[in-house]
Structure 1
Amino acid sequence: MKIHLVPAAAGFVLLAGIGVAAADQVIVTPEQQTIIREHVQKHPLASVSLLGVELNVGSALPDTVELQSIPDVQYRYAVVDNRTVLVDPGTRRIVQVID
């Protein structure tokens, strides 16, 4: 009986991990996308160069990068290596790279 429980428990843990990973995904609504793009175009920032930091979703920006707010959006933005990134201000992790 115990032999059957081990694979079942392992499968449950795997599924729970997938659920947690999916919960970490950030969904930016089309309305927020429009607000973000318009704000970034109206308020351009100088680009900051960062060596050794990959601009991927989930990558953290160092404290030296100043984050700018966007009205009606919980996230902040910065321009790094000529790419605009949307950042969670609490974790400083990139939630979206805007091209």
Structure 2
Amino acid sequence: MLMRNMLLAGAMLAVTASAAFAQTVILQPDEEVVVREYIVKRPPPEVVLPDDFDLSVGTVVPEDVVITPLDAPGIETRYDYLVVDGRGVLVDPDTREIVEILD
């Protein structure tokens, strides 16, 4: 019984991890090109985050960090963005959660 529960828990974890990975791809390749061009043409001031800040998908951007609305043509979902270390960072405007990092 214990072994069965462990296998079931492992399978659930694998499904959850797969679903989380699938959610990290926010933009399709053609949309990513549009967003990159938009950010290059309209760069906000580069942001310097605290040393202990974890720049990764799922992390919430602190309230004192300025994020800029993304109004790129053809992108229907609302995003905000910022630039950190030369990389575009897409942020959910409602939660301030990082949804994609463009390397």
Q: What's the TM-score once normalised by structure 2's chain length?
A: 0.70
Distance 1:32-1:53 versus aligned 2 partners, 3 A rule: same
**CA shift digits 1:40-77 (9 cap, x unpaired):** 11111111211121322222210112222222342211
Distance 1:41-1:4 versus aligned 2 partners, 3 A rule: closer
Query: Residue in 2 aligned with 1:67?
Result: 67
RMSD: 2.5
Higher relative contact order (CA 8 A, sep 6+): 2
Q: Which amino acid aligns with 1:35?
A: V
| Sequence identity (%) | 36
Q: Does 1:94 align with 2:98?
A: yes
**How far off is 1:13 after superposition?**
2.7
Q: What's the TM-score once normalised by structure 1's chain length?
A: 0.72
Q: Unmatched 5+ residue regions in structure 1?
A: none
Partners of 2:29 and 2:23 lie apart in 1 by: 19
